[in-house]
C-alpha cells in the first residue's frame, strides 16, 4: 500500500503562538485517516497547510510522492476538500452549483454525471431546488458532491458532521465508508465526534496543543486484550508507591478523573487486584476502557 501523505516536522507559528509543533504523520492509500484533537489543538491549521491555504513556518509535505510546494497545482487537482462548512451559492440550485464547481476545477461534467453525483449523496430528488431551501445536512452532502466533481484521489474533510442532526451524521458516516471501501478513495477526516471516528477510521492521529500524542491503526490502539484500566482507591498514594516499585511500574499511564490509569493484559487484571489487596490497599473498583473517547481522553488529559 503506497503512502499518499507524508508530513514531516510541520510547524506553524502565529506570532507568539505555536499552533502546530513539529508534527509528522503518514496517510496510506485507500484508508480513512481520523484526525483527532480538542478545539484549538491545531487540526484546522494542519489541514490548511495540506491545502496550501497557509504556509508552514517549517517542515515538508509530500502528497502522491511529490513535494506539495513544488508541485502545488498538479497535487491539488487530485484533492477534494471541505474546510469547516462548504461555500455554496445559496440562490442557485444544486445542479447549478455542481456545474460552477466543475468549471472551477477545469473539468467538463455531463448532465448524466451531475445527476449521478447528486444521487450518490442522496440529493437526486432536490437537485433543481435552490440551496437556500436546504437543511444543513443537505448542504453538507452537496458540498461533498462538489468536492468530488473532478473525481479526486484524496478527500480532506474538516469536521464534516458539524451542525448535523443524528440522521445527517449517520448519512455522512455511511458516505465516508462508501467512498473509502467501495470507491477506493483516501480520506483524511477531522472530527470531534469520537464515537463516529471509531466506526469509520482505519488509522488515527491524536494531537494536543499542536503536538502529536499518538498515531496508529485504530484496531491495534484499541486492542481489547491490552485495555486501559482505571483503578479507583482511597489509598492513591500507597497504591502508586506499590505500583512504581513493582512489576506493574511499566503499565502505569497516569491519571484521569482521580483514577490511576494502567495498561494491563486482560488476564492479569485479577492478579493486579489480588496484589493490591494483599498489600493493604483498598480497591474501590477497577474498570477497563475500550472506547475511542476514553482512549482519547487518556492521551490528552493529565
What's residue 264's pLDDT? 83
Cα three-residue angle 74-76-77, rounded to 5 degrees: 65
What's residue 298's pLDDT? 63
pLDDT of 240-251, one tens digit each?
A: 999 999 999 988
Q: At what angle do helices 111-120 and 94-104 cross, to 10 degrees?
A: 110
| 218/195 Cα distance (integer angstroms) | 12
- Which residues contact residue 134 at a Cβ distance below 8 angstroms, ignoring those fewer than 6 apart? 94, 126, 142
Helical (H) or strand (E) element with 218 = helix 218-221
What's residue 293's pLDDT? 64
pTM of the model: 0.76
Percentage with pLDDT > 90 across the chain: 40
What's residue 186's pLDDT? 97
Q: Residue 133's pLDDT band (boundaries 50, 70, 90)?
A: very high
Average per-residue pLDDT for the chain: 86
Q: Where are the beta strands (DSSP E) in 84-193?
A: 154-158, 186-190
What's residue 223's pLDDT? 66
Across 215-238, average pLDDT:
78
Across 131-138, average pLDDT:
90
Across 236-242, average pLDDT:
90
**Is residue 168's pLDDT more than 90?**
no
Amino acid at each position: 500500500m503506497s503512502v499518499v501523505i507524508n508530513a514531516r516536522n510541520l510547524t506553524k507559528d502565529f506570532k507568539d503562538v505555536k499552533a502546530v509543533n513539529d508534527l509528522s504523520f503518514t496517510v496510506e492509500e485507500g484508508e480513512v485517516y481520523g484526525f483527532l484533537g480538542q478545539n484549538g489543538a491545531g487540526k484546522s491549521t494542519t489541514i490548511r497547510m495540506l491545502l496550501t491555504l497557509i504556509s508552514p513556518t517549517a517542515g515538508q509535505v509530500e502528497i502522491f510522492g511529490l513535494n506539495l510546494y513544488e508541485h502545488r497545482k498538479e497535487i491539488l487537482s487530485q484533492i477534494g476538500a471541505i474546510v469547516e462548512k462548504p461555500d455554496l451559492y445559496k440562490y442557485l440550485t444544486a445542479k447549478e452549483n455542481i456545474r460552477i464547481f466543475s468549471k472551477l476545477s477545469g473539468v467538463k461534467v455531463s448532465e448524466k454525471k451531475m445527476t449521478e453525483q447528486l444521487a450518490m449523496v442522496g440529493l437526486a430528488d432536490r437537485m433543481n431546488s435552490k440551496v437556500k431551501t436546504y437543511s444543513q445536512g443537505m448542504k453538507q452532502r452537496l458540498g461533498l458532491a462538489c468536492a468530488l466533481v473532478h473525481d479526486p484521489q484524496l478527500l480532506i474533510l474538516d469536521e464534516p458532521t458539524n451542525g448535523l442532526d443524528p440522521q445527517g451524521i449517520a448519512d455522512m458516516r455511511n458516505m465516508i465508508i462508501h467512498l473509502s471501501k467501495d470507491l477506493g478513495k483516501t480520506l483524511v477526516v477531522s472530527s470531534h465526534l469520537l464515537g463516529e471516528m471509531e466506526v469509520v477510521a482505519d488509522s488515527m492521529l491524536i494531537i494536543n496543543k499542536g503536538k502529536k500524542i499518538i498515531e496508529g491503526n485504530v484496531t491495534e490502539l484499541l486492542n481489547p486484550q491490552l485495555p486501559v484500566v482505571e483503578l479507583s482507591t482511597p489509598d492513591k498514594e500507597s497504591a502508586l508507591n506499590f505500583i512504581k516499585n513493582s512489576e506493574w511500574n511499566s503499565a502505569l499511564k497516569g491519571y484521569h478523573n482521580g483514577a490511576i490509569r494502567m495498561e494491563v493484559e486482560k488476564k492479569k487484571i485479577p492478579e493486579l487486584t489480588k496484589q493490591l489487596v494483599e498489600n493493604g490497599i483498598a480497591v474501590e473498583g477497577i474498570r477497563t476502557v475500550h472506547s475511542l473517547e476514553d482512549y482519547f481522553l487518556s492521551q490528552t488529559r493529565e
